[in-house]
């Protein structure tokens, strides 16, 4: 006798035969269990469309869903067939990681003019897209993030892994702000490098060694000298243009979202000497030219590795030059608030809000004092030389 009911156990009991066959569900007309010779089973629904054509639709494999869920989906499929619609509603393809990331770049990074746009794109192209480009965005879990960071940390260091983590976190948070059902897989404690507040200031001997080797290190060496002599941020020195300097004054361009700069600076001799020694390359607008016809020098990591092979100094970074210059200004007796303005640091409190004096003369004097001290450090014998007075003739 034909079964009056069909349970999950009953589906499991159906055995494969020499040929494929279908077993009808006694509780739902048009719903069947299709049994393959191998024993594999799947749920199917069948009905006729408005034109009288018989349409079969596969609901799902029996080892992936129970009979109750299969009946529910089959009822919906039969309704759709009779209405002349596809048996299974076609859902929009889920967004891939690349789709979400490119939308983030367009609507957040580019729209807000983030200065880190170029670095964000580089990190995505090098570290993330090769692994996740076609992955379903919402399917990326915490374990996937941890695995990716492990690979980056092992191959490129903990700091690079943290940079990628920050980018992924930004994308996930941006997506979560637009999709109420999404929860970011990023949690506290995923950073790989412990934050370190650097206090490194170069000694006089180290300054002399770096300055001397910089004279033989081409564009990178000129960059180092100029950075130390002006105390400005690396990005501003790298992108220095010929037309930014006029009559010995460097007018540092700045965008609203950037960190502060020194503004207009009357350059000291050591900085001007670097510029005068440089030659214009074709129509390239930059003082420190790069490899492209209009690009600026940007090969810092590789150049520093080569540089460090010539100068044996305990671990130092390019940013240490800026910290060293600030310390030297204090050593030269420059007032703290003036030195901070040379650095482009924000001035706190009421003074920062209401004092709009440009401090051009004061900043020029500060850099001149730094210039004198640097010359003394670079030529230590000069400070011990006492000019001889001429003996008056009798």
Does the 204-349+356-382 domain belong in CATH 3.40.50.970? no
Q: Under a CB-based contact definition with an 8 Å cutoff, are residues 81 and 51 in contact? A: no
Give the domain 97-176 fold: DNA polymerase; domain 1 (1.10.150)
Rounded CA-CA distance 224/236 in Å is 12
Rounded CA-CA distance 265/222 in Å is 18
Q: Under a CB-based contact definition with an 8 Å cutoff, are residues 265 and 252 in contact? A: yes
Q: Under a CB-based contact definition with an 8 Å cutoff, are residues 46 and 25 in contact? A: no
Residues of the chain with CATH 1.10.443.10: 204-349+356-382
- Give tens-digit pLDDT for 218-231: 999 999 999 999 99
> E strands of 173-289, at which residues?
245-246, 249-251, 264-266
Q: Mean pLDDT for each 10-residue chunk of the chain (394 residues)?
A: 78 94 95 94 95 94 93 95 89 86 95 86 96 94 96 92 96 93 92 80 96 96 97 93 95 72 90 95 93 86 90 90 96 95 80 72 96 95 54 51
For residue 257, the model assigns a pLDDT of 54
**pTM for the model:** 0.57
Q: No. of H helices and E strands in the chain? A: 16, 7
Does the 16-82 domain belong in CATH 3.30.160.390? yes
Residues of the chain with CATH 1.10.150: 97-176
DSSP per-residue string spanning 255-267 = -TTSPP---EEE-
Helix, strand and coil percent figures for the chain, each rounded to 5: 50, 10, 40
Nearest by Cα to 20 from 1, 6, 40: 40
Rounded CA-CA distance 1/26 in Å is 12
Q: Under a CB-based contact definition with an 8 Å cutoff, are residues 332 and 372 in contact? A: yes
Q: Under a CB-based contact definition with an 8 Å cutoff, are residues 28 and 67 in contact? A: no
Q: Identify the DSSP state of 247.
A: T
For residue 243, the model assigns a pLDDT of 95
Residues of the chain with CATH 3.30.160.390: 16-82
Nearest by Cα to 299 from 308, 287, 311, 291: 291
For residue 46, the model assigns a pLDDT of 96
For residue 363, the model assigns a pLDDT of 95
Backbone angles phi, psi at 218, to 5 degrees: 60, -140
Rounded CA-CA distance 334/327 in Å is 10
Q: Across the chain, which distance is largest between two alpha carbons, in Å? A: 145
């Amino acid at each position: 006798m034909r079964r009056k009911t069909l349970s999950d156990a009953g589906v499991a009991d159906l055995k494969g035969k020499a040929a494929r066959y279908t077993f009808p569900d006694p509780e739902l007309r048009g719903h069947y269990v299709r049994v393959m010779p191998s024993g594999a089973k799947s749920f199917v629904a069948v009905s006729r469309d408005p034109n009288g054509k018989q349409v079969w639709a596969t609901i799902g494999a029996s080892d992936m869903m129970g009979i109750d869920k299969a009946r529910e989906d089959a009822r919906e499929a039969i309704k759709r067939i009779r209405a002349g619609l596809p048996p299974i509603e076609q859902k929009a393809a889920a967004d891939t990681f690349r789709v979400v990331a490119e939308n983030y770049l367009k609507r957040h990074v580019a729209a807000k003019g983030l200065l880190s746009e170029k670095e964000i794109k580089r990190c995505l192209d090098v570290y993330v897209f090769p692994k996740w480009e076609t992955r379903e965005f919402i399917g990326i879990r915490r374990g996937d993030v941890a695995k990716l960071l492990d690979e980056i940390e092992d191959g490129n260091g903990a700091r690079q892994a943290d940079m990628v983590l920050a980018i992924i976190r930004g994308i996930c948070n941006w997506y979560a702000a637009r999709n109420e059902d999404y929860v970011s897989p990023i949690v506290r404690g995923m950073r790989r490098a412990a934050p370190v507040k650097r206090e490194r200031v170069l000694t006089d001997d180290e300054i002399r060694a770096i300055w001397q080797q910089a004279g033989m290190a081409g564009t990178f060496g000129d960059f180092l000298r100029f950075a130390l002599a002006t105390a400005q941020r690396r990005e501003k020195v790298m992108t220095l243009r010929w037309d930014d300097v006029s009559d010995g004054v460097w007018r540092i361009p700045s965008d609203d979202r950037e960190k502060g700069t020194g503004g207009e600076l009357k350059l000291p001799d050591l900085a001007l000497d670097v510029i005068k020694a440089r030659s214009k390359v074709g129509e390239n607008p930059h003082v420190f030219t790069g490899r492209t016809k209009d690009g600026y020098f940007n090969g810092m990591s590789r150049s520093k590795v080569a540089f460090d092979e010539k100068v044996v100094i305990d671990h130092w970074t390019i940013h240490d030059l800026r910290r060293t210059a600030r310390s030297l200004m204090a050593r030269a007796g420059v007032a703290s608030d003036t030195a901070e303005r040379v650095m482009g640091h924000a001035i706190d409190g009421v003074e920062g809000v209401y004092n709009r004096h440009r401090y051009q003369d004061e900043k020029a004097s500060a850099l001149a004092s730094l210039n004198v001290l640097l010359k003394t450090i670079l030529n230590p014998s000069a400070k011990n030389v006492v000019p001889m007075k001429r003996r008056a003739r009798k």
